Amino acid sequence: MQGTIIQINVSQGGLPKRPIAQGRIGAIGLEGDAQAHPQIHGGPRKAVLVIAAEVVDELAARGYPVFYGALGENLTMRGLDVRGLRIGDRLRAGGAIIEITQVRVPCGQLDVYGESLKGDLYDARVKAGDSGSPRWGRSGFYTSVVEAGAVATGDIITPVAQHA
């Protein structure tokens, strides 16, 4: 299982995040990125948010006005099946290694794209940690940084250690 980083996104806080060609993932996240509500987002256990491009593409096809970076993700990836990812999995993203710490809980900031969006991304089963939910991984995963490193558009993102 392997994917590609198709967009790297940062902001000075809030949504959307805007693309950059390359960056560096440091101990507490993508350098140059900030959170509007640091008491909720960011920090060492929510350092980098990864979301599948396939989810964004499907939401856009269904009429949501979303695009890469709109959901607040730092790394938009393609080709890595999020349904197969689990809490504790480690991923190599370019020159960095990140570890999935939790499923992202969609917040009210996403309502700007449609009030029903959160329900299309997340449900009670995901909240309970049930990876069998059809919505598992759709809202993205927060990660901690195990090993800092450079990241660029086009880099590979691939599991290096997975939990059953």
Q: Which positions ≥6 away from 78 have C-beta within 8 Å?
A: 3, 4, 6, 52, 53, 54
Distance CA 114, CA 123 (A): 16
Distance CA 160, CA 99 (A): 10
Q: What is the pLDDT of residues 12-53, one digit of tens each?
A: 988 999 999 999 999 999 999 987 776 677 788 999 999 999
Cα angle, residue 61 at apex, residues 104 and 3 outer, rounded to 5°? 55
As given in the structure block, the two tokens for residue 80 are 């890595």
* Residue type, position 120, single letter: D
As given in the structure block, the two tokens for residue 4 are 């590609």
Q: What is the pTM of this model?
A: 0.95
Q: What is the pLDDT of residues 77-109, one digit of tens each?
A: 999 999 999 999 999 999 999 999 999 999 888
Q: What is the pLDDT of residue 47?
A: 95
The model's confidence at residue 164, banded by pLDDT at 50, 70 and 90, is low
The C-alpha R_g of the chain, in whole angstroms, comes to 14
Residue 19, phi then psi, degrees to nearest 5: -75, 145
Taken in order of first residue, the domains within the chain and their CATH numbers are 3-161 (2.40.33.20)
